[in-house]
């Protein structure tokens, strides 16, 4: 289905460790505080409706994050650096291919190994939630990651005739720009060492925050275009796959068989496409609400159920 929330800011040091995966819990901490005071709570990618937490819980959460230690911070920093680099390599390969060939045909084949590796590597984000170093719902993260895995392995990898569809380029571009922005954002926040040009770009807005406003604006503006583009690319790609799936009967189980079970992959894809109808507006407008809060100077923290 694709991660339907394409489209989170952090504290400093070990306090950022708990949220550096996907989706993170937003936590903006003023450097003038001891690191155990947060303003509000929120998550921009889980699509849940969270809400305000109890005042006591709000005060305790950052302190708990700080107690995780340097090991979790070091691992999450490495993970986000690796993912940023991987998606950057993918972006460069895509641009280079198009400049050399002048066409999108063959693009997917040329970048598929890199795409498969780094998108599958994202399964670690579910592990991060399971072991508690990222305070996000395991179910929500699992759905988001597995939906991307579904598009990569069970659609574009398995159905080779659709690999040259223009729609594949749509979701590849949307995913790539989104992930470079997202993972680099987490990396800068975890390292608490932002490049000068980012600090300069954000200095006129709010000097006291560790995470620059420029990064926040990228995070909360890019999705307005990238989210619909990515969803459109995924839907059109699945639609292009339908005739092939119906003709070949791939991944389908027909009766009679010894298990007395029937499964039709063609109708499964139709149901998957239909699921976008209720989910897309709900998640998109949720992110628009988060964007309004962030860009109007509010720091959000939403607790997962």
Could you confirm whether 239 is annotated as catalytic?
no
- Give the closest residue to 141 by CA, choosing from 45, 68, 75: 45
Q: Is the peptide bond before 23 cis (omega within 30 degrees of 0)?
A: yes
- Which residue in 125, 179, 234, 302 is the catalytic one? 234
Q: How many other CB atoms are there within 10 angstroms of residue 149's CB atom?
A: 15
Reading the block at residue 219, the tokens are: 């995070």
Could you confirm whether 234 is annotated as catalytic?
yes
Give the integer Cα–Cα distance in Å for 219 and 302: 17
- Which residue in 183, 227, 265, 276 is the catalytic one? 227
State phi, psi for 273 to the nearest 5 degrees: -65, -40
Cα distances from 291 to residues 45, 144, 145, 300, in angstroms, run: 11, 20, 23, 10
Phi-psi region of 43 (alpha: psi -120 to 50; beta: other; left: phi over 0): beta
Query: Which residue blocks in 135-253 are alpha helix, DSSP H?
Result: 138-149, 166-191, 196-202, 213-248
Give the integer Cα–Cα distance in Å for 4 and 54: 29
DSSP 8-class letter at 15: G
Contact present, 5 and 287 (Cβ < 8 Å)? yes
Chain centroid to Cα 276, Å, comes to 17
**Residues marked as catalytic:** 227, 234
């Amino acid at each position: 289905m694709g991660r339907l929330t394409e489209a989170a800011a952090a504290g400093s040091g070990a306090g950022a460790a708990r949220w550096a995966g996907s989706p993170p819990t937003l936590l903006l901490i003023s450097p003038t505080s001891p690191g155990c005071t947060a303003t509000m709570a929120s998550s921009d990618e889980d699509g849940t409706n969270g809400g305000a937490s109890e005042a006591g819980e709000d005060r305790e959460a950052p302190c708990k994050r700080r107690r995780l230690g340097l090991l979790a911070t070091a691992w999450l920093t490495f993970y986000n650096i690796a993912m940023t680099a991987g998606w950057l390599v993918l972006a460069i390969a895509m641009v280079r291919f198009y400049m050399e060939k002048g066409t999108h045909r063959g693009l997917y084949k040329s970048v598929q190994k890199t795409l498969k590796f780094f998108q599958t590597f994202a399964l670690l984000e579910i592990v991060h939630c399971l072991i508690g170093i990222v305070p996000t719902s395991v179910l929500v993260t699992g759905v988001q990651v597995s939906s991307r895995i579904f598009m990569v392995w069970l659609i574009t990898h398995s159905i080779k005739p659709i690999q040259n569809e223009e729609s594949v380029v749509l979701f590849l571009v949307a995913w790539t720009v989104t992930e470079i922005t997202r993972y680099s954002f987490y990396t800068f926040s975890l390292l608490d060492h932002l490049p000068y040009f980012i600090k300069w770009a954000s200095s006129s807005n709010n000097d006291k925050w560790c995470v620059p406003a420029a990064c926040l604006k990228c995070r909360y503006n890019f999705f307005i275009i990238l989210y619909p583009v990515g969803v459109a690319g995924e839907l059109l790609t699945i639609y292009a796959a339908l005739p092939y799936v119906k003709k070949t009967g791939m991944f389908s189980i027909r009766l009679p068989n010894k298990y007395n079970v029937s499964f039709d992959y063609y109708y499964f894809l139709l149901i998957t496409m239909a699921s976008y109808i209720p989910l897309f507006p709900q998640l998109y407008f949720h992110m628009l609400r988060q964007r309004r809060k962030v860009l109007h100077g509010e720091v959000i923290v939403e607790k997962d159920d």
